[in-house]
Amino acid sequence: MPYTGDEKLSLHASLNRHREVVLWKVGGLDDERLRQPVTPSGTNLLGLVKHLAANEYAWFCQTFGRETEPSRSTTRTRTRTCAWSRTRAPTTCSRSTPAPGRRPTR
């Protein structure tokens, strides 16, 4: 990850690195392990991946004035599988990445 130079390049590198690490950590887990609660509150790794992808998508869409897809917040975590964590989450994140030259709207 570049620590000097262009801020946008550094931001993209940092976001990509963090995305890769999270997906790498959950990559070898089956659905049962992804849904296993890991905190007293019941948080599970699949829910964490869903949370990270959805919030990144919402933040970038709102900040850069992009259209968003209809909310999928009503879709329960039970319908998410490890296949989703490897396909949909990266797609969601890549769609949230600001286009070159776009400026925040707020």
Assigned domain for 20 exists: yes
Looking at 1-106, list the stretches that DSSP marks H as alpha helix, in order from N- to C-terminal side: 7-26, 31-35, 45-63, 82-96
Assigned domain for 15 exists: yes
Q: Which domain does 86 fall in, by range? A: 7-96
Task: Give the pLDDT of residue 74.
Answer: 46
Query: Total structural domains in the chain?
Result: 1
Assigned domain for 26 exists: yes
Assigned domain for 35 exists: yes
- pLDDT-flagged residues of the chain (< 50): 74
Assigned domain for 70 exists: yes
pTM over 0.85: no
